[in-house]
Amino acid sequence: MTSTALTLFNSLTRQPEPFVPVHPGEARVYSCGPTVYNYPHIGNMRAYVFADVLGRVLTWKGYRLTHVINITDVGHLTDDADQGEDKMEKMAAARSQSIWDIAEHYTQAYWQDVAALNIRQPAQWTIATDYIDRMIAFAERIAPRHCYELDSGLYFDVSTVADYGRLARAHTDEGEGRIEAVEGKRNAADFAIWRKTPAGETRQMEWESPWGRGAPGWHLECSVMSGEVLGFPFDIHTGGIDHREIHHPNEIAQNQAFCDCGGLGEAANSGARIWMHNNFLVERSGKMSKSSGEFLRLQLLIDRGYHPLAYRMLCLQAHYRSELEFSWDGLGAALVRLKRLLTAARNVVDAAADGAALADAQAAVTHPKLTPLLEKFDAALSDDLNTPVALTVLEEAVAVKKVDAAQKGALVAAMLSALGLPLAEREALRIRPIAAQIGEDEIEAALTRRKAARADKDFALSDALRDELAAKGVEVMDGDPLGWEWKLG
């Protein structure tokens, strides 16, 4: 019944391509994970909502998914190229804390956001520092033919592989102007795969290697962890669109060197068949950054009273390849939409069917009003994960009348699961006034009294109650079609 073939946009070819798994029936996916020197901002979390949706769609299409996400706890410099300090070392020094404690704290914080956004657990979280020996072995294998040593480290010579920079659409001969030259580099785009600790210094994180004491380069880490766990070539590599410019071209060059592969006319030579990138979440004020002091964390949204799934909804409403602008109004609208959807879904989905798979829906859905919806939904997701369209089809399915209730329930449950929207109580989706000067019970009580006053046509009292709430930061909403009575002013 779900006849549409899955098509995904490959950044390497800049084209939509049919998904053809390397191992029949399986899908192996690697996602670049967070650098755990600070809390993730909600832009970072967009990358993982996207990767989660990709995983869920692969499951929906019947593939056995192996998803790996890494945790970068060493090696990511303050500049994506070779300049600057290690982000972890810098934060540890600023806080006078051990890197290991910093990494542990922010990894836990990231995992909390993962759970709050209903992002599924991957098959494996790979921690970069667990793979140091394999990084050294990988570097030893490619060094003789592809690397050279300078005082500051072991460098990868990008001219030794075919088609370097194709992913970024950059040409090495034009040079990458923004990369400051390290003395002795053969090409501007060459990058360190092992960074030696400068003589007379010690780093908190450093290891012995054939090139001296030091630490791995960030790009090396992802090549090693992805190849080690999934095997080259695997199916899909994901990351934010910034990784298309430096990090992923460098991973690809290393993978080509490691596999002794030719040019990138053959996508699998890159180490993965498909490279996918989510576009940025932006603020009107500019690019979101977690190295700046103040930034948008999921916890801030929660503190302002928004359920975290409202942010997931905001992400789903945009195509992952479109830039998405964050605004509090937009978040509020996403929450209303989520609430309308889940409140209605609660009434049609049998709790037992929550999290149902496509197979169940396919088997269950035969009603002539429901099968076209199933097909439309499948076609949307199969079209490079078109979640904005899939959401509207889900809303149609929730609203459809005069159909078999069990079939409708099974269909809605499967659709919710494909988008990662869990059934939730209406109560749980209320805006919670953590930041307001008044408790929820008090608001509810005032609203009940106000309702009674209006029924008695005592508009003076009704207005007084409204003003009282407004003084405490709560705006009363009359006539909301979903019966949502108030919001934080």
| By CB under 6 A, residue 46 contacts ligand AMP | yes
Question: Which residues from 104-163 bind ligand AMP, rule CB under 6 A?
Answer: none
Measure the CA–CA gap between 252 and 167, rounded to whole angstroms.
9
Measure the CA–CA gap between 350 and 408, rounded to whole angstroms.
10
| By CB under 5 A, residue 88 contacts Zn ion | no
User: Amino acid identity, residue 54?
Assistant: L
Interaction partner, residue 136 (Zn ion, ligand AMP, none; CB < 5-8 Å by kind): none
Interface segment toward Zn ion; rule CB under 5 A; list 29-37, 143-151, 207-215, 274-282:
29-37
Residue span 267-306 as binding mask against ligand AMP, x where in contact by CB under 6 A, dash where not: -----------x-xx------x------------------
Closer to Zn ion by Cβ: residue 138 or 311: 138
Q: What angle do CA 327, 330, 332 make, to 5 degrees?
A: 110
Among 55, 165, 239, 420, binds ligand AMP (CB under 6 A): 239
| By CB under 6 A, residue 412 contacts ligand AMP | no
Q: Is 475 exposed, middle or buried (0-12, 13-18, 19+ CB in 10 A)?
A: exposed
Number of chain residues interacting with ligand AMP (CB under 6 A):
15
| By CB under 5 A, residue 465 contacts Zn ion | no
Measure the CA–CA gap between 393 and 391, rounded to whole angstroms.
5
Measure the CA–CA gap between 65 and 60, rounded to whole angstroms.
10
Q: Which two tokens stand for residue 153?
A: 């480290």
Are 489 and 475 in contact by the 8 Å Cβ rule? The answer is yes
Interface segment toward ligand AMP; rule CB under 6 A; list 38-46, 92-100, 430-438, 481-489:
38-46
Closer to ligand AMP by Cβ: residue 242 or 442: 242
Interaction partner, residue 222 (Zn ion, ligand AMP, none; CB < 5-8 Å by kind): Zn ion
| By CB under 6 A, residue 168 contacts ligand AMP | no
Among 8, 32, 91, 488, binds Zn ion (CB under 5 A): 32
| By CB under 5 A, residue 222 contacts Zn ion | yes
How many of the other CB atoms lie within 10 Å of CB of 156? 28
State the nearest-atom distance from the C-beta of 204 to Zn ion, in Å: 22
Measure the CA–CA gap between 299 and 116, rounded to whole angstroms.
10
| By CB under 5 A, residue 361 contacts Zn ion | no
Among 8, 27, 29, 47, binds ligand AMP (CB under 6 A): 47
Among 10, 28, 34, 152, binds ligand AMP (CB under 6 A): 34
Among 75, 214, 227, 240, binds ligand AMP (CB under 6 A): 240
Chain residues binding ligand AMP by CB under 6 A are 32, 34-35, 43-44, 46-47, 239-240, 242-243, 278, 280-281, 288
Task: Kindly list the residues in this chain that would bind Zn ion in the complex (CB under 5 A).
Answer: 32, 222
